[in-house]
Structure 1
Amino acid sequence: MEALIKNIQSAQVSYQILGDDSQILQIILGQNCQIICQTDSILTMSSEIKMDKYRQIKNKNNGIFSRFWNYLTELCELSQNAYYKLSNPTNQILHLELQKRLGKVLVLNGQLFSNLIVKKRSLLAISSFDDIDLKCLEFDIKTIKNNGNYISKQQWLQIKNPDLYFFVQSNRAILEKELGEDEKIIIKQICLIAFSYTCKFSYVQKDKSGYFGNLPSDQIIQISGPGIVFVSNDQISHRFPHYNHNTIYPNLNDID
């Protein structure tokens, strides 16, 4: 725990331990932004931390968040039962604060993780592979209108970029980057940003090739739900907070 706190302090964030058993660590990144890490045994986890590995990870972004991804990735990998929630009394303020700190982000739905729903956002991801320097990845994704129809968790959603494919399923996240006709790098362990909003989808038809058909460019997203959850690809199907299905927040495409 002492080592974890020391490195968190060096990342220019403040912290406090919640609870007598020290199993909940609250890390405050600013007035509108805090993260709560809850695990079954954070003290046990701290003894297994290997900080040198994560110091090697490079990231294009500077500032508090870019340094902090190391610790998020670490905690995700060390505990099957950890989850990370950015919380704020006003989710709209929190989202604007995240936009200011992180720049453009790719928003994922934590519960229905197969559904990628954001247009022209970036995914900030850190790979657990020491030999791969994973940067912010740009995607151009059609937005999908909220009218109550969910895409099945069993379906694949493939988002095509000139040289990138990003696949998401309920328990699996694989990034596949094409390097040439026969050479590909597959990154199997990614720490993803997952917004714990509830997002509903308009009707989308899957064609014979396995891709989803074209979507109208003027469709918008309506979003509800408290907070943000950080998950790794082995934690997608569980440990998410309760969703508020009644509150609708502004379209994310209006936030630049």
Structure 2
Amino acid sequence: MSHILKIMIESEIVPEKATLRRNSPVPLSNFYYSSLNPQFIGEKTLILLHPDFTKDVAARLIDEVPEVECVLKGSPQSIVGQADRDSQINHFEILEGDDTQMNVMRTLLHEKLVIVKSQSKHHIEVATTTEEKLVRLHNYLVNNKIKKGTAIDGMCGLGALGIYLLKYGFEKVLFNDINPEMINALENNLKINDITEGYEIFNQPFEEFESGNVDLCVIDAFPGMDIEEIKQKAEKMADNVVII
């Protein structure tokens, strides 16, 4: 990371007295595996994110730092993707490299779940965070003895929660997301996890989504969103609603 900071200082992106603690870009791995395993930085493993990166800086980072695979321009505080029906689809800008990221999660089902995404199109969430969500979902299902019938993954994104429900034993999962780019990623992740049946895919604002009565609705919204209307809609359709 010291050479990365050196390039940023020489390019006048950060002050001459900048430090790694305060001024470094967000370093993301292109591969995350389980919260029990330490994350090692190897050649072509880093995806870097910073709001002031330029194409020239990105080219230097790729050429001079062997660990860097991709350079993105954007703020980690930005909402990437599409938050709701009143917002546009937002991306981080790819300046150089391949932004593909693979996340491998352990589960309480004693099998792993694999989620692949393009980091430029998705908000930052790594395997450890998704694992925690899967544990919360699993505990809710077990503690409340939820019927393994039909479930809705109402804001499915990359599909991790809905895929987990299918692996848990649900007969059918209705995947829905407002962002059409998420639908493409979801279809890829279903294939990766060997899910070939038991699901339908919808591309609608959840507020406009319609289904018959279902056993469960899972909502995993963007952080900070007002989801009261979404929660009320979910409660009308599902016998059980869990907000992740």
Shorter chain as normaliser: what TM range?
A: under 0.3
Normalised TM-score (structure 2): 0.27
Select the structure that is richer in helix.
Answer: 2
Select the structure with the greater relative contact order (CA < 8 A; seq sep ≥ 6): 1
**Higher radius of gyration, 1 or 2:** 2
Normalised TM-score (structure 1): 0.26
